[in-house]
Amino acid sequence: MPEPVTVSIDVPQGREAVYDHLDVLANHEAFTDHLLRDWQPSGPTRGVGARARVHVKALGVRDVVDIEVTEVRAPELIVERNIAHRAGRTAEGTYRLQELPDGGTRIAFEYRWIVTPVVDRLTAPVARAVIRRTNETAMRRLAEQLATA
């Protein structure tokens, strides 16, 4: 199983404001649509049980991914489980929000494989690099989104 991939970014917004924004799953579309497209939210708009079905195309492969928020601890933690149907991959994405000493928030996002298809195990360095790059892009876009919210 590939090692988890963690990326982070510091933003000037307070932790509660960042949490409130990330807690609405539909808000994720704007900063992840470079990879996750055609969002179809369902369930509650925020908190545990918020869901979305998205389409992904990565490394030339298309898939349908179901995302569901499985754990929240305001204002510091949001955990999402995602299942990629075609690939047979199950993973968790975890946002950890930490107050910075001089104000602002460090947003850390960890992607962790739970059920790893053979192709992910065989191409672990490539899979991790792709996940890191796309998640770094998402964090930069999230920072921009928060600045204009």
Mean pLDDT over the full length of the chain: 95
pTM for the whole structure: 0.95
Q: How many CB atoms lie within 10 A of CB 129?
A: 12
Q: How many CB atoms lie within 10 A of CB 12?
A: 13
Backbone phi and psi for residue 35, each to the nearest 5 degrees, phi listed first: -130, -45
Predicted confidence (pLDDT) per residue in 14-60, tens digit? 999 999 999 999 999 999 999 999 999 999 999 999 999 999 987 77
Confidence of residue 133 (pLDDT cuts 50, 70, 90): very high
- The tokens for 52 are 């979305």
Confidence of residue 11 (pLDDT cuts 50, 70, 90): very high
Q: What is the pLDDT of residue 82?
A: 97
Evaluate if residue 121 carries a pLDDT over 90: no
The CATH-assigned architecture of domain 5-148 is 2-Layer Sandwich (3.30)
Residue 85, SS3 per DSSP: coil
- Give CA angle at 64 (66, 124), nearest 5°: 90
Evaluate if residue 76 carries a pLDDT over 80: yes
Domain edges within the chain: 5-148
